[in-house]
C-alpha cells in the first residue's frame, strides 16, 4: 500500500429527511484491492444524500449500506461505487446487490 494512495474518511451529518425511512442492502463490489480502495467506496457512498451508513470491506468485497429508498435507488448506489474509482487507476463495480 503506497502512502500517496491514502484516503481520508469523510464524516457526514445525517439529516432528519434521510432518516425518515431506511433500508439495508449488501453489495458485492469488484475491484477493491486494499483498505484505501474500501475507503474510496465508503466515501463515495456516504457522500450521497440518503446514505446513512456504509461499511465497506475490501477483503470480503462487500459494502453494507443503510439508506433511504425514497431518496436513492440501488442504481444510484452502484453508480457511486463506480464513480469512487474514477481516478484512472482504480475501477470498482457492483456485481450483485442483496436485500
Q: How do residues 32-66 score in pLDDT, each as one tens digit?
A: 999 999 999 999 999 999 999 999 999 999 999 99
The mean of the pLDDT values for the chain is 91
pLDDT digits (tens, 9 = 90+) for 82-91: 999 877 788 9
- Domain hosting residue 78, numbered range: 3-10+18-98
Q: 58: domain CATH number? A: 3.30.70.100
The residues that bridge with 54 in the sheet, in sequence order, are 65
Around Cβ 26, how many Cβ atoms within 10 Å? 14
Report residue 29: phi and psi, to 5°: -115, 125
Q: What is the pTM of this model?
A: 0.90
Query: How many domains is the chain built from?
Result: 1
Residue 95: count other Cβ atoms within 10 Å of its Cβ: 12
Amino acid at each position: 500500500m503506497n502512502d500517496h494512495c491514502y484516503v481520508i474518511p469523510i464524516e457526514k451529518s445525517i439529516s432528519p429527511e434521510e432518516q425518515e425511512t431506511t433500508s439495508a442492502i449488501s453489495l458485492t463490489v469488484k475491484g477493491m484491492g486494499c483498505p484505501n480502495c474500501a475507503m474510496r467506496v465508503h466515501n463515495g457512498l456516504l457522500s450521497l444524500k440518503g446514505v446513512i451508513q456504509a461499511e465497506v470491506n475490501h477483503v470480503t468485497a462487500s459494502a453494507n449500506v443503510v439508506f433511504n429508498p425514497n431518496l436513492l435507488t440501488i442504481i444510484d448506489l452502484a453508480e457511486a461505487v463506480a464513480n469512487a474509482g474514477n481516478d484512472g487507476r482504480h475501477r470498482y463495480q457492483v456485481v450483485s446487490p442483496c436485500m
